[in-house]
Amino acid sequence: MKRRTLVVLSVVLMLLASWTGAEAKIRVVTTIPDLADMAKNIGGDLLEIKSLATGVEDIHAVPMKPSFATILNRADVLLLVGLEVEHAFLPGLLEAARNPKILRDAPGYIDCSVYVTPLEVPTRLDRALGDQHPMGNPHINLDPVAGKAMARAMADGLTRNYPEYEATFKKNLAAYLQTLDTAIARWQREAAPLRGVKFVSYHPDMIYFAERFGMEAAGTIEIRAGIDPTPGHIAALEERMRREGIKLVVRERHYPASLAETIAQRTGAKLVELPAMVGGVPEARDYVSFIDYNVRTMLKGVQGG
């Protein structure tokens, strides 16, 4: 009997030890996998990271699953893109998660957009202009230079919450920024043929990518952000593409294929399909390979092949 008690006690103690070991990690929840990858690079083994989105979703339509509420309930910090891009699911989930540590304006609510200068900040707010984002176009993760700013904001946010690991975060951030700088220099070289190329995308989410690599976002298949097209809008868009010689249509992979294909076919344009987040295609395993995939796919679309 005593022996059995002892064995049970040992097992319980072992479990307890493993549990306390696991608990020592900082529980980080990110809204998108891009942030999860950055956090992995900055926090390394200090962090236990979970991403709500898998990468294949439209960031404006991530399903609000109750299981996300339990994940957020246990989070020590929340890393989000910011600029209200997560408006469709994050406020509701935070309400359900009941975790004061990660509520808006709490230290654990880390907005990774704070060091990014947003583009397309509306000068007038009106629903007639579509689903506007008052603080500017929020699709910053598609620009690797903005990605660097996001990583810096993330490291600073983590440091504010865990100053005892400041040195580690700083060191890892420096190494990660170095990796990004090297990749950015390479992308800039490789993407030279993209300069000046006009394109049409489904949603106005390629603006940061276009700005970085000198492309020109010339229109969208949607009438306005978040508003599905009408036949009249499509006809006008096709006419403009023919008139201005726009030969590239970008379909973000979470938007319907058929309409983008039809527009490309009717205007003689090349169709390229791009993920909008890490994990959007199997090749986009991490942030570097995600941007890499987008640059290469865009180049293929411009150069043919």
Partner 1 sequence: MRSITQGLIVGTVCLFSTHVCAQGALGQTRTPDAPAQQLRRDLEIMKEQMRQMQEKIQQQEEAIEKLSTPAAPPVAPPTPVPASPAARDQEQLKQEVREEVLRDLQPKLSAATKTFPSQFNPAIALVIDTDFSYRQHEGNNFDFRAAELDLSASVDPFARGYAVFTGSSDNGFSVEEAAIVTTSLPYNLTVKGGRFFADFGRLSKFHDHDLPFVNRPVVLDRFVGGESRADGVEVSYLLPIEQYVTLTAGMYNKLGAENDRVDDTVPRDLGEFTYLGRAATFISLSDAHSVDIGATFAYTPRVKIDQSQDRYLAGIDITYRYVPLSQAAYRGLVWGTEVLFNRESRPVGGFPTDPTAPPPTDFKRNNAWGLYSYLEARLSRRFYPGFLFDYAQALDPGIGDTKAYSPYLTFWLSEFQRLRLQYTYVDQASTPQQSAHANQVFLQWTAILGSHVHGFRDR
SS (H, E, C) 193-244: HHCCCEEEECCCCCHHHHHHHCCEEEEECCCECCECCCHHHHHHHHHHHHHH
Cβ(173)–Cβ(42) below 8 Å: yes
User: Is position 304 an interface residue for partner 1 (rule: CB under 8 A)?
Assistant: no
Cβ(277)–Cβ(33) below 8 Å: yes
Cα 226–230–236 angle (5° rounding)? 105
Contact mark string toward partner 1, 201..240, x via CB under 8 A: -------------------------xxx------------
- Would you call 295 helix, strand, or coil by DSSP? helix
Cβ(274)–Cβ(249) below 8 Å: no
Least separation in angstroms between CB 266 and partner 1? 20
Select the residue interacting with partner 1 from 103, 234, 236, 271 (CB under 8 A): 103
Tally of CB atoms within 10 A around 137: 21
Site for partner 1 in 147-166 (CB under 8 A): 165
The b-or-e profile of 111-132 (16+ CB within 10 A means b, else e) is bbbeebebbeeeeeeeeeebbb
Select the residue interacting with partner 1 from 33, 108, 136, 301 (CB under 8 A): 136
270 token code pair = 């090349």
User: Is position 44 an interface residue for partner 1 (rule: CB under 8 A)?
Assistant: yes
Nearest residue (CB) to partner 1, 164 versus 305? 164
Contact mark string toward partner 1, 47..86, x via CB under 8 A: -------x-xxx-xxxxxxxx-xx--xx------------
User: Is position 93 an interface residue for partner 1 (rule: CB under 8 A)?
Assistant: yes
User: Is position 245 an interface residue for partner 1 (rule: CB under 8 A)?
Assistant: no
User: Is position 254 an interface residue for partner 1 (rule: CB under 8 A)?
Assistant: yes
Question: CB within 8 A of 101, min separation 6: which ones?
Answer: 75, 76, 77, 107, 108
User: Is position 258 an interface residue for partner 1 (rule: CB under 8 A)?
Assistant: no
Select the residue interacting with partner 1 from 88, 218, 234, 271 (CB under 8 A): 88
Cβ(242)–Cβ(234) below 8 Å: no
User: Is position 278 an interface residue for partner 1 (rule: CB under 8 A)?
Assistant: no
Nearest residue (CB) to partner 1, 65 versus 242? 65
163 token code pair = 């100053």
User: Is position 131 an interface residue for partner 1 (rule: CB under 8 A)?
Assistant: yes
| DSSP H helix total and E strand total for the chain | 10, 8
35 token code pair = 């942030």
Task: Give the count of residues interacting with partner 1 (CB under 8 A).
Answer: 70
Q: Which stretch binds partner 1 (CB under 8 A): 32-40, 129-137, 264-272, 296-304?
A: 129-137
Distance of CA 30 to the CA centre of its chain: 10
Site for partner 1 in 168-207 (CB under 8 A): 168, 171, 174-175, 178
Residues at the site binding partner 1, with contacts judged by CB under 8 A: 2-3, 6-7, 9-11, 13-14, 17-18, 20-22, 24-25, 44-46, 54, 56-58, 60-67, 69-70, 73-74, 87-89, 91-93, 95-98, 100, 103, 117-119, 121, 123, 125, 127, 131, 134-136, 165, 168, 171, 174-175, 178, 226-228, 253-254, 256
